[in-house]
Amino acid sequence: MAHVIYVHGLWMPGDESVLLRRRLAQEFDLTLHPFRYSAAYSTMSSITARLESFVRELQTDEAHFVGHSLGGLVIHRFLERFPDQPPGRAVFLGTPCLASRAAEQASRFAPVAHLMGMSVAEELLQQRERRWTHQRALGIVAGTQPIGVGQLLAAFDEDNDGTIAVSETRMPGLSDHIVLPVSHLGMLMSARVARETGLFLTEGRFSLR
């Protein structure tokens, strides 16, 4: 089995990947390993250093990465800092690659801003230009089912998954992008998202629309 490192999003424990893990194993013979971290109490530097140790301890010749929401940015920063990794591909699920209007609005409320933590402040609360320049292919899944508090915070006037707008997911340099009728959290439960994720990790492309 090829190995997949799953990096969760803000306020998630990693266990929310259970259905994705089962589907990738059953349909694509992929073994998913959840990497857990604290976005609220850790800097991006410390998170990526721990991820480097996590991957190294797997002792695998092939390593794919799947990041949900903030987890995608963790993977991006990890590969910038530690580029010498086993070959593989990456899939981001609802990752705010360009910006996050929901996070920006939420940060205006002090108690919420505190809970969001240092890593979110570093990545989402200031303007950053991001481009995927890593060797591995990147596929990004965006959702259009607007269910989530982000819809209220950001007052989106475009397609979004309830937390992140589709336009916010389009990182320059990506290999493929697919938009599906799922919400930000719902994409982790979706059989279609799991199938597209497995397809990209094993073949380097999403299905034909």
Q: Do the bridges between strand 90-93 and strand 30-35 make them parallel or antiparallel, or are there none, so unpaired?
A: unpaired
- Tell whether 14 is covered by a domain: yes
Percent share of the chain, pLDDT over 70: 84
pLDDT at 118: 64
Q: How many domains does the chain have?
A: 1
Confidence class for position 155, pLDDT limits 50, 70, 90: confident
- Tell whether 102 is covered by a domain: yes
Full domain range(s) for residue 94: 2-203
Could you give the C-alpha distances from 19 to 3, 91, 206, in angstroms and in order? 16, 16, 19
pLDDT at 115: 53
- Tell whether 208 is covered by a domain: no
- pTM of the full predicted structure? 0.92
Percent share of the chain, pLDDT over 90: 72
CA–CA dist 77, 20 (Å, integer): 23
What is the tens place of the pLDDT at every residue in 5-47?
Answer: 999 998 788 899 999 999 999 999 999 999 999 877 888 999 9
Q: Is residue 112's pLDDT more than 90?
A: no
Q: Which residues contact 109 (CB under 8 A, 6 or more apart)?
A: none
- Tell whether 195 is covered by a domain: yes
What is the tens place of the pLDDT at every residue in 42-79?
Answer: 889 999 999 999 999 999 999 999 999 999 999 999 99
φ/ψ region of 138 (left if φ > 0, alpha if ψ in -120 to 50, else beta) reads beta
- Tell whether 209 is covered by a domain: no
pLDDT at 152: 62
